[in-house]
Amino acid sequence: MDVIVAGDRAELAEARRALGIGGPASPGKAALALVPTMGALHEGHRSLMRLAGEHAEHVAVSIFVNPLQFGPGEDFSRYPRTFDDDLEVCAAEGVSMVFAPAAEDMYLPDRQVGVSAGKMGAVVEGAFRPGHLDGVLTVVLKLFNLVRPDVAVFGQKDAQQLAMIRRMVADLDLPISVVGAPTIREADGLALSSRNRYLSPQDRQAALALSRALFAGAGQRTPGEIRRVARAVLAEEPSVAVDYLVLVDPATFAEVGEGHTGEAILAVAARVGSTRLIDNVTIGL
């Protein structure tokens, strides 16, 4: 089947009708799973589409570079936009519907109301990108309301984003199951990211310090040692400027103490040249 491309609300409603969504789903399978993206699709996004297909009869992919989640001075205007290639990727993955709205159609010019990510949205990533997680939650809630999926799939690579979307679903009683997907990496450990295409060959080599630090930290047994070893690996790479390296509770993103048991997330954000990258691993303690 060809991919249906919807560019606005009316076309989206028509696409849902054409796919028979809203009618009875096949037994044991949800009708529609959504994979929200900002485009410039890579193998990480493809893995999300495949996982979405295991959960629902139809997969929808949204492609929207959301202005609300970019701060002043961030890379909104130069963010890679590769719509034609993205459409081919979606077709090859058997996606039923691509929703690619224009910013003017998503946000009213006099928009007043948005989602607040609360205190959890002001720590870790939120401390370095004020308002970012409010912008993410606002657009994700709008995408949920527009596309009306039963299931939504997000990558663990954006771990705080995933945790906050789970919180939004719980706090606002949204009728959606959230599925987290593992991080896809290059053979040398670099987490796939649309922003990797900004990296020069030298930057790309330096960027390997992020995953190297996370894997070295994950080999330790206590929070103190995990943090110390990971920081030491990052310090060995002078062209990596670290924004944060934290060991946090996966649900709250609060720093874990020395006695912590259960899972913790070791998360890093750093700038390599003019490119800001994030990565994380989950560690059992």
Ligand X SMILES: Nc1ncnc2c1ncn2[C@@H]1O[C@H](COP(=O)(O)OP(=O)(O)OP(=O)(O)O)[C@@H](O)[C@H]1O
Ligand Y SMILES: CC(C)(CO)[C@@H](O)C(=O)[O-]
Residue 195 as a binder of ligand X (CB under 6 A): the answer is yes
Contact between 158 and ligand BAL (CB under 6 A)?
yes
CA–CA separation, 33 and 60 (whole Å): 6
- CB of residue 132 vs ligand BAL: minimum separation in angstroms? 6
Alpha-carbon Rg for the chain in angstroms:
19
User: Is residue 69 near ligand BAL by the rule CB under 6 A?
Assistant: yes
Residues 6+ apart with CB under 8 A from 271: 240, 241, 243, 277
Give which of 23, 33, 27 is closest to 54, Cα–Cα: 33
Q: Taking CB under 6 A as the rule, does residue 191 contact ligand X?
A: yes
Q: Assess 210 for contact with ligand Y (CB under 6 A).
A: no
Residue 45, contacted partner among ligand Y, ligand BAL, ligand X, none, CB below 5-8 A by kind: ligand X
If the CB atoms of residues 64 and 227 are measured against ligand Y, the closer one turns out to be: 64
Smallest gap from Cβ 4 to ligand BAL, in A, equals: 25
Residue 255 binds ligand Y (CB under 6 A)? no
Give yes or no for residue 157 binding ligand X (CB under 6 A).
Answer: yes
Task: Based on the residue annotation, tell me whether 260 is a catalytic residue of this protein.
Answer: no
Between CA 137 and CA 17 the distance in angstroms is 27
Residues 65-104 that bind ligand Y (CB under 6 A): 66, 69
Interface with ligand BAL, residue 75, by CB under 6 A: no
Site for ligand Y, residues 139 to 178, rule: CB under 6 A: 139-140, 158, 161
Which segment (9-17, 41-49, 83-91, 100-108) binds ligand X by CB under 6 A? Answer: 41-49
Residues 44-103 touching ligand X, rule: CB under 6 A, are 44-45, 47-48
139 binds, among ligand X, ligand Y, ligand BAL, none (CB under 5 to 8 A by kind): ligand Y
Q: Which residues bind ligand Y (CB under 6 A)?
A: 36-38, 66, 69, 136, 139-140, 158, 161
